[in-house]
Amino acid sequence: MKNAMLRQNLAKTLLMAASIGCAMGLSVTAEAGVREQAKRIHDRLAGVPPSNAVLTSMVTALTNDTTGRTAADIAMQNPNFLGVTVKNMVMPWTNEEMTVFTPLNDTAATLIGMVRDGVDFREALYGDIIYVGSGTYSNSNNTMYTQLESSNADLSNTAVLIRRTQSQITGLPAGAVSGVLTTRQSSRAFFVDGTNRAMFRFTMLNYLCSDLEHLKDTSRIPDRVRQDVSRSPGGDSSVYLNTCMGCHAGMDGMAGAYARYQWTYTNDDPDSGQLTYTPTLVQQKYLINSNVFPYGYITSDDSWINYWRAGPNANMGWGGGQQVPTTGNGMQSLGQELANSNAFARCQAVKVYKAVCFNEPTETTLGTLVTNFRASTFNMRTLFADSAADCRGP
Amino acid sequence: MKHTNEINNMQTSNSGRFFSRLGGLALLASIALAGCGGGASTTSQIPQAGTTTSSESTAFFNSSGGSDLDRFRDNLWRNINATSRCGNCHTPGGNAASHPFANASDVNAAYSTITQSDASSSNRYINRTTPSASGIVTKFSGAGHFCWQATQAACATDLTTWITAWIQPTGTTGTTISLTAPTDEAISGGKFFPATAPGNYSGVHTILMARCANCHVPNVQQAQQPYFAVASAQASYDAVVSNAKINLNATSQSRLYRRLVDDNHNCWTTSCANDGAAMLAAIDAMANGITAITQEAGTVVSRVVDLSDGISVSLGSRIDANAIAVYDFKEGTGAVINDTSGVGAPTNLSLQGVQGTDYQWLPNWGIRFLTPTGRAQATDSSKIHSGIISANAYTIEAWVIPSNVTQQDANIVSFSASGAERNFALAQYQTRYQSFNRSNNPAIPTAQKTTGEPVLETNDDDNDALATLQHVVVTYSAAAGRRIYVNGRYTEDTDPVSGASLGNWLTGGGYQLMFGSEGGARPWAGTLRKVVIHRAALTEAEVQQNFSASVGQKYILMFNVSGLGGFPAGSYVHAQVEEFDGFSYLFYKPTLINLNSTVPTALAIRGIRVGVNARESAIGQVFAGVNATIGSTYLAGTGPDSGQVLSYLGAVIPKENGPTLDKFFLSFETIGSQVATKDYNPPLTGAALIPPALNPSAVSDVALHTFEEISASMSELTGINRTRVATTFNRIFQQLPPTEAITGFVPSHQTGITELAINYCNQLAGDTTRTTYFPSVNFGGMSFATDANRDAVIDTLLDRLLNVTSGTPTNQPSATAVRTELRSLIGTLSTSCAGACSGPRTVEIVTATCAAAISSAAMLLQ
């Protein structure tokens, strides 16, 4: 009885506290100065309020370095910058649902580590790199990373989140490694079942900020469109010619690079599967439904061709600027093709700016962000610092 | 009764034949008697007796072996020698006795006649290369010749089928085709898009900007390529031209127009027809201002051909030995689908609904059911009933194009009385094909027997049914039950019941063969290109052979490239061409050949594009990637497999004016020494290279911390590791704000925040660190009577929350105001014990005050 009364008392107490909590703070003003700027930079980079000491040091830094970078660097030392802000920015890139509500995984951890260490972020698409915990990495489960997350591990600690060579960790041949795209989680998400076109689409979405609808170009040469694509869906080839082909002409040309990758699993349990790479064989999924259009392209290797270097998608700003199709073999070289585009640099800038400032940058701001990003050899910390400084307020 | 009618009809149209027919029957009878002891022979002369019985004379047979004469007898002669067919006149004593190819009394004489050559050494009766061009077939190209079918075309089809079965026996690859030069014709020219947008493009541009700018511009949320609704007329024009949205030479085929009138695509008034007319008028205004020229500047082109120049390619050999009903859908118009099997009385089907609205004939052979009203039904299906139950086996073979993969309970081919009574049915259920079958299996309840259940269907995970052309086959035998094949492959779906007799099949009483629905029930939307009902279960190999035989009419077009870039006379690039569907042609396997046997070597061919009428098609140019050098892989000869294949791919090229009017040519970026000067890949410059603009908008300076930031912030403020509240957080994190937008904040978010705050504060108030965090609080019990007492709890919280020590930023709540609220809260909470609250009550008060502080907007907002 007494316990019940106590619980009731506590409930009433907390309810009252809750209503007080709701009411407090409504008189927030928009006035700002250096202190206010420092507070906002910290809030938006670390996602948490600063301590007195940090705030004081940031105020000093902002006073001495009006670019805001020094102050931003202080805020980025908070472990929550990596463990919360960066993590929640990259988590949607690791799954088809594009949800942030997913367990920490090797793809996200590697992206976080690359931000922490200022690694050339283009390597996310082709580097032989992975970040692991202190335990034993498994190709067939995600336990290492869920444990890091559940233990609230300090990802800013280089002894906790450790940079390693992916090919040595996973056993994938070094030439077959393609940055985070060949880590377990990305493979699980985008190589599972299907035709591997998902890997291309989500790479474009997550790292070049372009969905296929924005890239549709029916004027490209459609000679790499595979047999499994109906040229007359529902008996109407005009649908193919004016819609489907616009994406497939470019996409199938490049998705050939993934022809040797497969997410292998048993017992209808893809989560316990692992990446399979066949150095000399094309995966069966590239040859399925061959009777849908027998005169379509038959994949025989992992070659790719980028037809989108010409035509309207030349505005992706492909590396080197050539407006003639480029070719290559394998996922790693395609990763370089994509990562060296201007669209890649712009995409990272836009995403960081939105994560920090909750808005898209103006073209002028974006130009500055990209210039500085390139000048820093694609160090994401530069983007975070510049973005936070740009929207620190008056 | 049927027999009598036929006789009466012939008496009307062929005076005097009745009596000669009686004579023929008498002769046949005597032959039959004489042949009883002879039997069949494989020698070059076939004994006349015993080869025809009364039942055989109306049945379609196919022989896969024997001599040419054997195959003639089994496949053609037996089908035409009856007096109800050619044998009434084209036999000695008949009205057309001078052409006795259907000699009813002497198969050897008939064979001798039909295989004879005329003075020009070409056969007057049959064409072994192109059966459909045989003299006895083309006789039906006009009107008035006696025909046993409803139309002249149907009789032509019957004969073509039988001749094909004779000269292309099962297991062979068909007759040899020799390529020949087509009629020479130069490109006739047409209108071409100028590089700069013409002034009279303004009409189109105005409509696009006004009506399409919600999507077809780059800087909107739902941006949709191509961006032809942009303000820049040139950029809009470039997008229209490069994506082939306007057809200058057939303006009514322009995609900008057809999307409105065909697809009702985002019409801006209630009348898509009116909107389409406005668009077409603007397109015409533009096209009318462009002068036609002979050939696009800078191109290198072949000579021109059209489909009438094409060399007809016979389809591969089919297994039709037991076909009892065949539907090729070649009619092209009308309300009847003819059974062209030639077996017995044709089981024709009548189409229901309105042509063009409910169903649509396809020019490349086929019928499309557009609405549930569009369907077809026979009036006498007894032939199918009797044929199948006597065999206790059947095959439903269909070339289909489902309109979509969302329809379900959709019957494609049925032998039914209603949507609940059937003998058999081939149906679609989303991405599954289904087979219904009535049988005498005693394990099946009567009710299920009536509906043909249990159903055999393809595995849902296999997605066997696709909205594309597919060859779908259901076989049934009493021994093996049902099997479903798609595109020649057994789907490996097992019949849930074993096979049994089909003796309980029903006929009459409404039981008929039906296409597209079951008497109006279970409608199916899609296209039928060919349907065959067999009175046997085809084997897997036979199904594969029929699949390989394909469907539709195919041609080889010969594009003359003689003289281009050093290619010698007689040089052609030929390609197999067919009408792919109602909208496009399919060009397949372009091959270089020299008919004069002069093989060009070390000459390059690069970048082939298909031209239609005056211009290269803007889309679908699969062969543009060709990069070949003529040389070692060239195969000598003049057959379709000779020469050097330039590409094994197929190109789908849009129609312009239709198959009877469209003319085709090939253009080459490089052919031998000749290089096109047209820039096929004009680089983008200036504005075109600028990526789509971003769309920054005015956003609130004030934002929310999101779910994990909230937990992390509370951890920072209390010093409690997040792991200690993990259980609560993992339970409620989706109840916390997922995004920073303050406009997305809802009351349930605050509930979650409060619960999380209470957990953190509860941990803090019970933790050993509490005495460090609250150095002036006596957790064993204390007074909260004065503000100073209460500030012992408040001071640390305020300092952590609002940076009081270092100076509260002005964009944070006033520390004084917050302190006042918290003092008031503690006062209320300690009313009953203000002078001496117990230890537990003190902990509760600290917990509550802490929760109020760290769940407040001071924490939440950033």
Per-residue model confidence as pLDDT tens digits over B424-455: 999 999 999 999 999 999 999 999 999 999 99
pLDDT at residue B120 in the model: 58
What pLDDT sits at residue B39?
A: 30
User: CB distance from A394 to chain B under 8 Å?
Assistant: no
Residue A16 has pLDDT above 60, yes or no: no
B579-634: per-residue pLDDT in tens?
Answer: 998 889 999 999 999 999 887 789 999 999 999 988 899 999 999 999 999 988 89
C-beta atoms of A25 and B619 within 8 A: no
Q: Which residue in B239, B584, B851 is closest to A21 by CB distance?
A: B851
Contact A49 B242 (CB under 8 A): no
Q: Give the one of B581, B694, B741 whose C-beta lies nearest to A360's C-beta.
A: B694
For residue B546, report the phi and psi dihedrals to the nearest 5 degrees. Answer: -65, -35
Is residue A11 within 8 angstroms of chain B, CB to CB?
Answer: no
Contact assessment for residue A215 and residue A313, using Cβ atoms and an 8 Å cutoff:
yes
Q: B750 vs A18: CB contact, 8 Å cut-off?
A: yes
User: Which of the residue ranges A74-78, A334-338, A386-390, B416-420 would you say has the lowest mean pLDDT?
Assistant: B416-420
Question: What is the ipTM for the molecules in this complex?
Answer: 0.90
Tell me the three state secondary structure of residue B755.
helix
pLDDT above 80 for B151: no
Q: What is the pLDDT of residue A315?
A: 92
Substitution target in A6, A43, A217, A295 with the highest count of B β-carbons within 10 Å is: A295
Q: Give residue B453's pLDDT.
A: 95
Contacts of B331 (CB under 8 A, 6+ apart): B151, B153, B154, B337, B338, B361
B810 with A393: Cβ contact below 8 A:
no
Decide if A268 touches B, using CB distance below 8 A: no
Average model confidence (pLDDT) across chain A: 92
CA closest to A149 among chain B residues? B723
Determine the distance in angstroms separating the CA of A127 from the nearest CA of chain B, rounded to an integer: 27
Kindly state the average pLDDT of the residues B815-819: 93
DSSP tag of B462? G
- Closest CB to A36 among B225, B619, B809: B809
Q: Quote the percentage of chain A above a pLDDT of 70.
A: 92
Whether residue B33 contacts residue B46, with contact meaning beta carbons closer than 8 Å, is answered with no
Q: Binning pLDDT at 50, 70 and 90, where does residue B716 land?
A: very high
Q: Scanning every residue of chain A, which has its alpha carbon at the shortest distance from the alpha carbon of B749? A: A22
Given a cut of 60, whether residue A169 has pLDDT beyond it is yes
Nearest CA in chain A to B738: A100
Q: What is the pLDDT of residues A327-348, one digit of tens each?
A: 999 999 999 999 999 999 999 9
Q: Summarize pLDDT for B73-109 with one digit per residue, the tens.
A: 777 887 787 777 888 888 888 888 888 888 877 777 8
Interatomic CA distance for residues B333 and B356, integer angstroms: 10
Q: Do A366 and B694 touch (CB under 8 A)?
A: yes
Contact status, residue B239 vs residue B687, Cβ threshold 8 Å: no
Task: Establish if A10 touches chain B: CB-CB under 8 angstroms.
Answer: yes
Mean pLDDT, rounded, of chain B: 85
What pLDDT was estimated at residue B237?
92
More confident residue, B452 or B173: B452
Position B308 scores a pLDDT of: 85
Select from B618, B709, B799 the Cβ nearest to the Cβ of A47: B709
pLDDT at B168: 65
Summarised one tens digit per residue, pLDDT across range B191-245 is: 888 888 999 999 999 999 999 999 898 877 777 888 899 999 998 998 898 888 9
Cβ separation B584–A232 shorter than 8 A: yes
User: Most B CBs within 10 Å: which of A221, A357, A360, as the mutation test of the B interface?
Assistant: A221
A378 forms bridges with which residues in the sheet?
none
User: Does the pLDDT at position B357 exceed 70?
Assistant: yes
Residues 187-226 of A with CB under 8 A from B: 213-219, 221-223
Q: How far apart are CA A340 and CA A317, in angstroms?
A: 9
Q: pLDDT for A357-384, tens place per residue? A: 999 999 999 999 999 999 999 999 999 9
If pLDDT is split at 50, 70 and 90, which confidence band does B52 have?
A: very low
3-state secondary structure of B813: coil
Taking alpha carbons only, the member of B612, B668, B409 closest to residue B525 is B409
Confidence of residue B169 (pLDDT cuts 50, 70, 90): low
Interface test with B, best of A5, A9, A19, A22 (most B CBs within 10 A): A22
Q: Do A297 and B723 touch (CB under 8 A)?
A: no
Neighbours of A322 (CB within 10 A): 13
Take residue B625 and report the two structure tokens written for it. Answer: 């990637």
pLDDT digits (tens, 9 = 90+) for B654-703: 998 888 788 999 999 999 999 999 999 888 887 777 787 787 887 788 89
Residues B821 and A17: their CA atoms lie apart, in Å, by 10
Residue A8 has pLDDT above 80, yes or no: no
Partners of residue B482 on adjacent β-strands: B476
Closest Cα of chain B to A355: distance in Å? 9
Interchain contact, B649 vs A361, CB within 8 Å:
no
pLDDT exceeds 90 at position A318: yes
B310-348: pLDDT as tens digits: 887 766 678 888 899 999 998 888 899 999 887 888 899
Kindly state the average pLDDT of the residues A7-33. 48
pLDDT for residue B176 = 55
Of A49, A150, A316, the CB nearest to B716: A49
Residues of chain B in contact with residue A87, where contact means CB-CB under 8 angstroms, are: 708
Tell me which chain B residues have a C-beta less than 8 angstroms from the C-beta of A5. Answer: none
Q: Provide the pLDDT confidence category of residue B66 given band limits of 50, 70 and 90.
A: low
Find the CB nearest B806 among A47, A55, A363: A55
Total CB pairs under 8 A between chain A and B = 342
Q: Which residues of A touch B814 (CB under 8 A)?
A: 27
